[in-house]
Structure 1
Amino acid sequence: MKPNHDPKLYQTLLENLSDGVIVIGSDGHVQIANSAFCQMFEFDPEEVEGSLFGELFIMFEGFDEFVEIILKAVTDRHSGERQVTSVRIREEPRLLSVTTSYLSTTHPEEAEQTAVVAVISDITEIQELRETELRMAKVTEKQRDELQVAYRDLENRNAELSQIGKKIQTTRNAATIAVLTLFLVLGIWHLQPVGLSGPDASSEPPLDLLADDPGTMQTMVVETRDFDSTITLRGHLVPGRIVEIISPIESHVSSVHVVPGQRVTEGDRLVGLDASQLAAEYRQTQVDYIKARDRLAEVEDWANSAEMARARRALRRAKMGLDDSQQNLKRTAFLLEQGIVPASEHEEAQRQLQNRKLDFEEAERELESVKLQGGAEEQRVVKLEAENAESRLRAHEKKLGQTEILAPISGAVMPVASGPGGKPLVRGRSVAQGELLLSIADFERLSVVTSIDEVDVRKIQIGQKARITGPGFPGLQAEGSVTFVSSQADRGSRQRNTPQFEITVALDRLDAEALSRLRVGMSAHVTIVVYSQPQALLIPLHAVVQSADGARVHIVDPKTQAIEQRTVTLGLTTLDSVEVMEGLAAGETIVLFVSSPETRHQGVVPMHGGLLP
């Protein structure tokens, strides 16, 4: 069977190989490079073939050893060598296996041509698996030894626990007897006659007790003071705003002027887009616009147009032919009467007259039809076409002005995910209209992103003031306000059965010194003021007595020194105070209860701390 030397077959085999294959001539130029090689190093196949091998990797860092292996194979002309080298591709270390073969082809009519074939395989995953297997073997062996030691310790502890269990059982029996004895003593003391026959317990302190025993009470004058209720949360600093830069047109990247992390000012050039295709389309839209404009001018002056002139001329010629036929008919009729011409000639003149009448009628209809082409409806259609052509022209003019993308704000360039196919934003890459190219973060204004649970989120409102501190910027306290409260719980928090709602707090503008101490990503503590009352009436918790009818306080009459009870409406509480909303005025004197055996016996029940909703 004759071997198949079809070049397309060899090309198909090369393209289907998973390993990268490159053929380099003795002059250092790349003759063949398959798709796997181009994808491995992110090259354009059209740019690789015919290029000098050394120039391909001149801009790459960490490829010196790889390039040296290939060039050494070209110069030394050795075959069958396999070497392993490490490179960095997309900022990731990769381990490559390089096998070189030296080829020479002698033709009868040509000098000897030489080339080097390099087969490149990415063995990073294989090497990592091998190292992982070795580590796992060591870990397994270590764990086995630890399990053996732990098993021996467990046996020893079981023996010790068996002895301790016996001692604990003895102690437990003794403790049970002691507890039973204690409960018996307490029950006997509680059932004394005083407790059984005494008056009903009341939540109100007897006023005579307070009057008879002034030593059991203290008083204070109620005054107004500032009262703020806050919630403290933990979050992290983020840029105040992030502006996404999208492609205004469908084109190719012609230039990139920035790199991720670079600071730019408003108006700086970011990306240049190729305008060659857009310029050709713009020229075509100019042609369409000129044609539409001329057509509109023609229709608006349709009475003097070339079409109308042609139709009128056709009508005049038809009229002249009709008149000639009528005169010819009269002449032949006269000659027929004189016997000069035969009857057939007169009949022919009649037929010609009929034909000329038909031609005249056709010319009249044609003139009316041409007139309609310049009517109001036709003018409206042509005008709309002209407006559409002008809109397309203006749109292309605007696109031509958008081929240079400028920074809309000052800030830092943020990295974005690579485009289709994993290609970075480099010269020559195609971009679609509306595709995200870059993002610019405004670091002049910062915000804090945090979260709050479902119980406290109802207390947070947009516009509430906040104070921001953090361990990364000690001594600095920034002011800010709430700018965003999420209306939907975070999905991750739902999975943890603790619904959390995202909150954004924008920092007020900071000076340069304070701004230099802050970094995006720093942790921050946010104290949000959820309630503020500059003229609040705060009284101690133990001045309030809880009863079935509600909360009460005892007021001292400034004239008679008599004590009266008053029902009050309470608000928020602190650890030791409570705000009085109604029932008490500034300047009044209230009783502070001091716990004593008498007040406890008479049923005085002071209020305890706790935050009211």
Structure 2
Amino acid sequence: MAHLRGAGQAMTDCSPDLRRDCLDNLLEGVIVIELGGTIAMFNPAAGRILDLFPDAVTGRAFAELFMSRKGFEEFSDLVLDAIENRGKAGRQVVTLHTGGEEQLLSVAISYIRSRCDGSAEPTAVIVSFSDTSKIWELCMAKAVDAQRGELQMAYRQIEEHKALLKKSQAARVLATVLVIGVFLGAGAYTWQSRNPLRDSFIATGVDSELPLASAGADEGLRTVTVEPQTLHRTISLVGTLAPWRTLNVVSPVSSRIGAVHFQYDQLVKEGELLIELDTSEANREHRDARVAYIDALEKFEALKNWEGSAEMADARRSFARASLELKSQRNRLDRATFLLDQGLIATTEYEDTEQQYQNQKLDFDVAELDFEAVRARGGKDARDRAELELGNAREKMLELEENLQQSAIHAPLSGIVLLPGQSDSTGIAAGQSVEKGEVLLKIGDLAQMSAVAKVDELDIVRIRNGQAVSVTGNAFPSLRLEGTVTHVSSQAKAQLQGAPKFDVTVTLDPLVTSQRELLLAGMSSNLTIAVYRNDNALLVPIDAVEQQGRSNHLLVVHPETGEVEVREVEIGNTTLNSVEIVAGLRPGDQIVIPED
């Protein structure tokens, strides 16, 4: 018993060290914070989790350390709330944002309560926490594995359903083929039973010695020899004549119109003066830009030789003067110290001398800071900034000089002057304000002409670039012009009523002088676009073609035996009474057609 009592007494004596060892070896971070906000304890685990040194943290204010750290907002708010709202314990998960990564902490709040005075009031806050990020990642990985298994199971079920669907679809296809075969057989039987040539052609054939027309005269049939013919298809449109190209003339600067030297719809020559801009405002801006450039140049030159500038000289003199005065005051303080040690001066006199020295030292420190500040004003950053400002000022000045040179606007090409393009535009006039880049007018090039028409959605699919066009007009009845489709719009123009319309542009062939004199921009025109042409087309009467489902057939006389055979053909374009055969028939073949 005595031995046990001794061991217990020894453990009690070393219990503070034991508690400290236990705290240091905990895997959880522990922080003990006094209610005044001072950190009393901070174990190594807390340092590892929060990336702090325990010795550098203990004894300092929690708010001083953590309120300014980015990413610790949730953790700081939780701890400060526990300090302010005493007695509110519990556990909560918070997020730390450190080094671009998220860290999840499980934080438990508890309190130390005094046992000395018997009161229930807490005296300190215990914050214990652990990093649960890896646990969370493991949970997420298990959840992903579980979801992956569910997806694999669902995929296998889908594959099984697909196999069943394929079997059912094969059965449906087989049934559909059988039904179609039944209908085709019934149709063939019906057609053969109704064909007036069936008995005569199949049973007896055609006598090679006897013409087919006379052989079938009783049945109202005759033969026709197919020969190549010319077939062409056209689309007729109504369009408007326009210059073959237009060029926008824009304002080079923001200004006012000084003078206008043209009229709209007037013919002008390349280089002819059209507009003069008011340059009074531009001149003022140019003068201001020159002043700014001179100021920037002076500033840059001053910074290049900053060490030799007047400001650096003044700062250097002030600093030297303060240094000398501090040295002189130091000598006075040394003499006063010696005299005080010898008992030759009173203590108050020594204290006055020491106070004067401290004041002079403050003046010296201020003079040194001022000197460094003045020197920094001529550093590399300041010189680079001054150089950039000088470049900007130079570019601004040169830009305004160029604008002044562009105050006179000339015609970029020969042509007709047109309105800017807005439907409600009335053109420009003297005194009007214009912005940089604003379209003032258009020049239409009349060296060639074009025609613009609108086409509906049914015809636009047959029009292509390069198709030949014939152009006529009521205003120029003696002319028949030729041209080519040069542009087909890929997007319809919005229409309030009716079907969508697409723009088609036709460029006319170069005009001679006599033709150009008869044409004006804006005249209406009639356009005939050749959308199809075949000079060797094989045309047969529409009544001669027998349609069976999706295939077409002709009765053709065999050139050697004279027998009539049913031949499958491929048809092309049609006219009012004939159809083009593009495959299955050759020039010179004889076909059987009904008598007119």
How large is the RMSD of aligned CA atoms in angstroms? 3.7
Superposed, which structure 2 residues align to 1:424-503 within 5 Å? 425-471=428-474, 472-485=476-489, 487-489=491-493, 491=495, 494=497, 497=498, 499-503=500-504
Q: 1:218 aligns with which of 223, 226, 231?
A: 223
C-alpha distance in 2 between matches for 1:207 and 1:482:
55
Q: 2:323 aligns with which of 319, 326, 332?
A: 319
**Residue 287 (structure 2) aligns with:** 283
Q: 1:259 aligns with which of 239, 263, 274?
A: 263
| CA shift digits 1:445-494 (9 cap, x unpaired) | 322122233322332334433221223142432222142437235535x1
C-alpha distance in 2 between matches for 1:516 and 1:218:
56
Secondary structure class of the residue paired with 1:578: strand
**Residue 561 (structure 2) aligns with:** 560
**Residue 23 (structure 1) aligns with:** none
- Return the offset for 1:537: 4.7
Q: 1:272 aligns with which of 276, 284, 297?
A: 276
Larger CA deviation: 236-245 vs 209-218: 209-218
| CA shift digits 1:373-407 (9 cap, x unpaired) | 34455455444433432332233123212211111
| Residue identity opposite 2:529 in structure 1 | I
C-alpha distance in 1 between matches for 2:379 and 2:540:
90
Superposed, which structure 2 residues align to 1:148-547 within 5 Å? 200-202=193-195, 207-208=201-202, 211-212=206-207, 214-215=212-213, 216-220=221-225, 223=228, 227-299=231-303, 302-334=306-338, 345-414=349-418, 425-471=428-474, 472-485=476-489, 487-489=491-493, 491=495, 494=497, 497=498, 499-532=500-533, 536-547=537-548
- Return the offset for 1:288: 1.1
Unaligned runs of 5+ in 1: 1-197, 597-613
Larger CA deviation: 314-323 vs 423-432: 423-432
Secondary structure class of the residue paired with 2:519: coil
Larger CA deviation: 260-269 vs 456-465: 456-465
Secondary structure class of the residue paired with 1:405: strand
| CA shift digits 1:540-588 (9 cap, x unpaired) | 545433334521123444443443322122121234443333334x456
Cα distance, 1:335–1:408 mapped onto 2, change above 3 Å: same
| CA shift digits 1:348-380 (9 cap, x unpaired) | 432332222222222332233334434455455
- Return the offset for 1:279: 0.5
- Return the offset for 1:423: 9.2
C-alpha distance in 1 between matches for 2:539 and 2:206:
25
| CA shift digits 1:224-258 (9 cap, x unpaired) | x7654221112231232343434333333322222
Secondary structure class of the residue paired with 2:194: coil
Q: 1:203–1:547: 8 Å Cα contact kept in structure 2?
A: no
- Return the offset for 1:343: 5.3
- Return the offset for 1:201: 1.7
Secondary structure class of the residue paired with 2:552: strand
C-alpha distance in 2 between matches for 1:487 and 1:319:
83
Cα distance, 1:543–1:298 mapped onto 2, change above 3 Å: farther
C-alpha distance in 2 between matches for 1:321 and 1:574:
117
- Return the offset for 1:307: 4.0
**Counterpart check, 1:593 vs 2:593:** yes
- Return the offset for 1:345: 4.8
Unaligned runs of 5+ in 2: 1-190, 214-220
**Residue 190 (structure 1) aligns with:** none
| Residue identity opposite 2:509 in structure 1 | D
Cα distance, 1:203–1:291 mapped onto 2, change above 3 Å: farther
Which has the larger Rg? 2
Secondary structure class of the residue paired with 1:232: strand
Q: 2:465–2:484: 8 Å Cα contact kept in structure 1?
A: no
* TM-score, normalised with respect to structure 1: 0.56
C-alpha distance in 2 between matches for 1:199 and 1:567:
16
Secondary structure class of the residue paired with 1:211: coil
* TM-score, normalised with respect to structure 2: 0.57
Cα distance, 1:203–1:491 mapped onto 2, change above 3 Å: farther
- Return the offset for 1:282: 0.5
- Percent identity reads 34
**Residue 181 (structure 2) aligns with:** none
Q: 1:416–1:438: 8 Å Cα contact kept in structure 2?
A: yes
Cα distance, 1:464–1:397 mapped onto 2, change above 3 Å: farther
C-alpha distance in 1 between matches for 2:565 and 2:423:
79
Larger CA deviation: 377-386 vs 236-245: 377-386
Cα distance, 1:313–1:574 mapped onto 2, change above 3 Å: farther
